[in-house]
Amino acid sequence: MQFQTNDLEQHWMPFTANREFKADPRIVVGGNGVYFTDHKGGKLIDGSSGLFCCPLGHGRTEIAEAVYQQLLENDYASPFMTSTPGTFELANRVARITPDPINHVFFVNSGSESIDTALKMVMAYHRARGEAQRTRFVSRERAYHGVNIGGVSLAGMVRNRETFTSVMPNVVVIRHTWSGDELFVRGQPEHGAELADDLARHCETYGGSTIAAVFVEPVAGSTGTLVPPKGYLERLRAICDEHGILLVFDEVITGFGRLGHAFASQAFDVTPDIMTMAKALTNGAQPMGAVAVRDEVYETITEAAPENAIEFFHGYTYSGHPAACAAGIAVQKIYEEENIFDKAAQLSSYFLDGLFSLRDLDCIKDIRGYGLMGGVELKAKGNPGAIGTQVQKDLFWNGMHVKFTGDTGIVAPPFISEKAHIDEMMDKLRSTLENL
Ligand SMILES: Cc1ncc(COP(=O)(O)O)c(C=O)c1O
């Protein structure tokens, strides 16, 4: 497909330097397997699975056909007080791969909506148990939980919140887990489990019985793959249990195999109370997210309502949209039939070997990684983020897509990548970075 770049002004692009981009556009016009095509006909390898949402790469016909057939059969019906078959099938499939006893699934349209929905579930749960005094939420520095008001309230990334000051009150943060003392750590750092005790300190300061929930990304993704130190998530779980606090894992990036298991929860063997997810739920082919909860959370909220009354006053016009469910079902079938999460696990050490082989480059400050996800943090030059923006652009014209946040590139290959694709990604990273 050809694309004329002479009329770009009307589109206000998200999380983009609009003026810079419109002067030097980078438009993706095609996607197939692990490659994109740009508007000038160039080929790019997809080093971040889009935005971590396309483990199966691009252009899978089974997904496209499932969506097409669904739209012909039934394009839309109200999800309030009626439903469509795909919602139940997809919920069953998701519940099959979440850890027990997390077996109830609520559909939304994005990761950001999954966070707002989880916040409301937490509030509804405590209220149903007669503990409505639990009004305080705990989040973490360097957290990204999407861009809706709930997620921004929990956010730990300064640029995402400094403009938007009127957010939810009563959020306190614990420290992030990257100290900078241990660099180039592959997998979980040995030290730092004690950082979880920040939560215990909040319990001492505010009273554990006033805290409703703790939200964490098991591996902080957007701030550059901050892998939890050994014992850290276990310690958070124990403190939550001690004080009746709900533990929410934001698995929007880590869900559906990124760490070599269905969810981070299984990779680290720590079961939260609530899990948020999106992205790879549909391989990015349709906008969709979900919140999965322990049976007890669902039952407590449901049983507290009068018989035949709506139990949870929340939902979206497009919750469980038929086309999104069709994509989700097709994707989950492929994950299962092709053992895609195992494939990710098998490719991990080859990928991490490649990534850590870049450590000799002068411009690199740190590399971190787990599963098929790695952060390559560059030494800052000028304003924070300046070098990252430049390198993301250089990489694009050198034939590779990588998502940068600030000065850290987040490399997350599609799970269908062959070793030769990993080699190509590392070659492109090296040839771009060694010229800095
Ligand atoms: C951990 C995490 N939570 C939430 C979100 C928000 O998801 P969305 O962009 O689909 O709203 C993201 C997006 O990258 C994410 O990484």
pLDDT tens-place string over residues 372-405: 999 999 999 999 999 999 999 999 999 999 999 9
pLDDT above 90 as % of the chain: 93
The third-level CATH classification (topology) of the domain covering 65-337 is: Aspartate Aminotransferase; domain 2 (3.40.640)
> For the chain, what are the domain ranges?
18-59+339-433, 65-337
CA of 145 to the centre of ligand 1 (A): 6
pLDDT digits (tens, 9 = 90+) for 355-365: 999 999 999 99
pLDDT score for 61: 98
- The CB of 424 under 6 Å from ligand 1? The reply is no
Task: Assess whether pLDDT exceeds 80 at residue 4.
Answer: no
- The CB of 142 under 6 Å from ligand 1? The reply is no
Q: Pick the atom of ligand 1 nearest to 146's CA.
A: 6
Q: What is the mean pLDDT of residues 229-247?
A: 98
> Does the domain formed by 18-59+339-433 have CATH 3.90.1150.10?
yes
Rounded CA separation 320/76 (Å):
10
pLDDT score for 2: 64
Lookup result for tokens 């001492």? 204
List the single range of 60-64, 221-225, 417-421 with lowest mean pLDDT: 221-225
pLDDT score for 349: 98
pLDDT score for 166: 79
pLDDT band (50, 70, 90) for residue 435: confident
pLDDT band (50, 70, 90) for residue 156: confident
Q: Which of 230, 227, 191, 232 is nearest to 214 (CA)?
A: 232
- The CB of 144 under 6 Å from ligand 1? The reply is yes
- The CB of 237 under 6 Å from ligand 1? The reply is no
Mean confidence (pLDDT) of the chain? 96
Q: What is the mean pLDDT of residues 116-139?
A: 98
pTM of the model: 0.97
Q: Which of 54, 376, 410 is nearest to 222 (CA)?
A: 410
User: How many C-beta atoms lie closer than 10 Å to residue 104's C-beta?
Assistant: 22
User: Can you read off the two tokens belonging to residue 340?
Assistant: 């895609």
Rounded CA separation 171/100 (Å):
29
Q: What is the mean pLDDT of residues 415-427?
A: 98
Q: Is 84 helix (H, G, I), strand (E, B) or coil?
A: coil
Identify the H or E element spanning 392: helix 386-397
CA of 52 to the centre of ligand 1 (A): 10
Task: Assess whether pLDDT exceeds 70 at residue 113.
Answer: yes
CA of 343 to the centre of ligand 1 (A): 24
Q: Pick the atom of ligand 1 nearest to 115's CA.
A: 4
- Yes or no: say if 136 and 210 are a contact pair by the CB < 8 Å rule: yes
Evaluate whether 18-59+339-433 and 65-337 have a shared fold.
no
CA of 130 to the centre of ligand 1 (A): 31
Range among 81-90, 150-159, 174-183, 379-388 with highest mean pLDDT value: 81-90
Nearest CA, atom 7, ligand 1: 111
Q: What is the mean pLDDT of residues 99-104?
A: 98
- The CB of 38 under 6 Å from ligand 1? The reply is no
Strand pairing of 136-140 and 171-174?
A: parallel
Rounded CA separation 117/100 (Å):
21
- Yes or no: say if 109 and 289 are a contact pair by the CB < 8 Å rule: yes
- The CB of 208 under 6 Å from ligand 1? The reply is no
pLDDT score for 162: 85
